């Protein structure tokens, strides 16, 4: 987009934008230090709105911007992974979903199911089994919460 921006591959293998300093030719993350929680939340809301409207290209832009502010944001990684799946970019989807799972193994079960669909054989089976285990854990937690509320009302 910007004339002074360049792309690089970060440690997770994701393409990110960097700005060239006018004083030197070294690359620096785009305004990473000045990022606020409000900016991040706004980007995630915009991305989700685009995804809900099936505007996955636009959603992807917002998720990338959110990841520039916080490269370890699991919600942004999950959203980006889903947008990439919808756009048919399975390589990037796999990268971001695997990173999301590594950062938050107890997160959303959908990540595991998507990774299972992208995999074959034993690897696919392992992803699906992990996803099913997450779903069971989520169901159990919901049942316990529901039971606790019922007991309180009696």
Please give the model's pTM, rounded to 2 decimal places: 0.70
Each residue's pLDDT, cut to its tens digit, for the chain (154 residues) gives: 333 333 344 444 454 433 333 333 333 344 444 458 999 999 999 999 999 999 999 999 999 999 999 999 999 999 999 999 999 999 999 999 999 999 999 999 999 999 999 999 999 999 999 999 999 999 999 999 988 655 545 5
- DSSP assignment letter at 45: H
- The residue ranges of every structural domain in the chain are 1-104, 105-154
Q: What homologous superfamily is domain 1-104 in, according to CATH?
A: Tetratricopeptide repeat domain (1.25.40.10)
């Amino acid at each position: 987009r910007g004339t002074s921006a360049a792309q690089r591959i970060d440690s997770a293998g994701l393409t990110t934008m960097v700005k060239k300093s006018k004083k030197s030719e070294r690359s620096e993350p785009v305004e990473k230090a000045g990022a606020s929680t409000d900016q991040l939340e706004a980007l995630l809301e915009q991305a989700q709105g685009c995804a809900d409207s099936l505007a996955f290209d636009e959603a992807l832009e917002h998720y990338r911007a959110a990841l520039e502010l916080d490269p370890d944001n699991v919600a942004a990684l999950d959203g980006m992974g889903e947008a990439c799946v919808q756009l048919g970019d399975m390589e990037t989807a796999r990268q971001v979903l695997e990173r999301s799972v590594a950062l938050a193994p107890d997160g959303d079960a959908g990540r595991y199911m998507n990774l299972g669909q992208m995999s074959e054989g034993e690897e696919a089976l392992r992803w699906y089994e992990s996803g099913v285990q997450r779903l069971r854990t989520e169901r159990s937690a919901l049942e316990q919460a529901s039971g606790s509320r019922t007991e309180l009302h009696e």
